[in-house]
Amino acid sequence: MKQTASAKRKLAGKFVTYGIVIAFYVIIQVLNGAGMVSPSIAGQLVPICAYVTMAVSLNLVVGFSGELSLGHAGFMSVGAFSGIVAAMSLQQAIPNGIARLAVAMLVGAVCAGVAGVIVGVPVLRLQGDYLAIVTLAFGEIIKSVLTNTYLAVDKKGLHFSFLTDKNALEEGGLQLIRGPMGVMNTQRISTFTVGFVLVVITLVVIFNLVNSRTGRAIMAARDNRIAAESVGISVTKYKMIAFVVSAALAGAAGTLYGCSQTTFAATKFDFNTSILILVFVVLGGLGN
């Protein structure tokens, strides 16, 4: 009976969360249709969706996995830059903006997920605050790397140089990443509706993962690592699943954010951004 009541409360909580998100979207759309949303507020709707996705995805690591990550903005930057490169490179192949954005978000999520694997494999085998230290370093390293990266595309394909711009482009070539100047003059293809869909997808993924067998294993490892290992739970494996899923969702959020801006640089995704997202998680009580 207690398990049934608990399951009903969790189900009710999920539907309340979905209802709040849907109600917010409907209210904003109605107000926007009535001309009651100012341009400055309308311009912040997509970034808000990106940051909500970031906070919910970080909660999977901080709240349900019990690990501390201080470089979540680094995964966001990986998704932003890889996604914007994909979106700009596919302008001719995929003229439809929404379809191109969907492909770019998938690319951003995959690239950020791969970065999560690279960071997580050596670190999540250890105990203590090593993940916080390594993710902090990762965020700063990826910011420095992107700040010194020059990437362009022309009829011959992609051109890459580091530290200085050595890319010699043919006529009609396009600069994708311009070192310290970042990405400039991009098409703003992100929309509030796409942001709303990403938030809903993120909630569905997190809720279903947490309430699955994998999610119970993740929380068991969080509560008592020794007890979890004694019953055959691979702590490293399940923590890795949570970390990579979180990184992939952050990458998708980064692409959504990047495709909503005409100009942005790697310095946008610094340590302060990671701390801001972590504060959202803590203040929102998402870590419970």
Instruction: Kindly state the average pLDDT of the residues 92-101.
Output: 89
Mean pLDDT lowest among 169-183, 186-200, 228-242? 169-183
4 vs 275, higher pLDDT: 275
pLDDT of residue 223: 86
Instruction: Kindly state the average pLDDT of the residues 99-116.
Output: 95
Residue 238 corresponds to which amino acid? Y
What is the token pair recorded at 46? 């997509």
pLDDT of residue 179: 85
Share of the chain above pLDDT 90, in %: 44
For residue 68, CA distances in Å to 116, 130, 146, 211 come to 14, 9, 24, 21
186 vs 58, higher pLDDT: 58
| CA 247 – CA 280 distance, rounded (Å) | 17
Q: How confident is the model at residue 6 (pLDDT cuts 50, 70, 90)?
A: low
Q: Which residues contact 265 (CB under 8 A, 6 or more apart)?
A: 147, 180, 181, 182, 183
Instruction: With beta carbons less than 8 A apart as the criterion, state whether 81 and 224 touch.
Output: no
| Separation of CA 201 from chain center | 12
pTM here?
A: 0.91
Instruction: With beta carbons less than 8 A apart as the criterion, state whether 134 and 119 touch.
Output: yes
Instruction: Kindly state the average pLDDT of the residues 269-274.
Output: 90
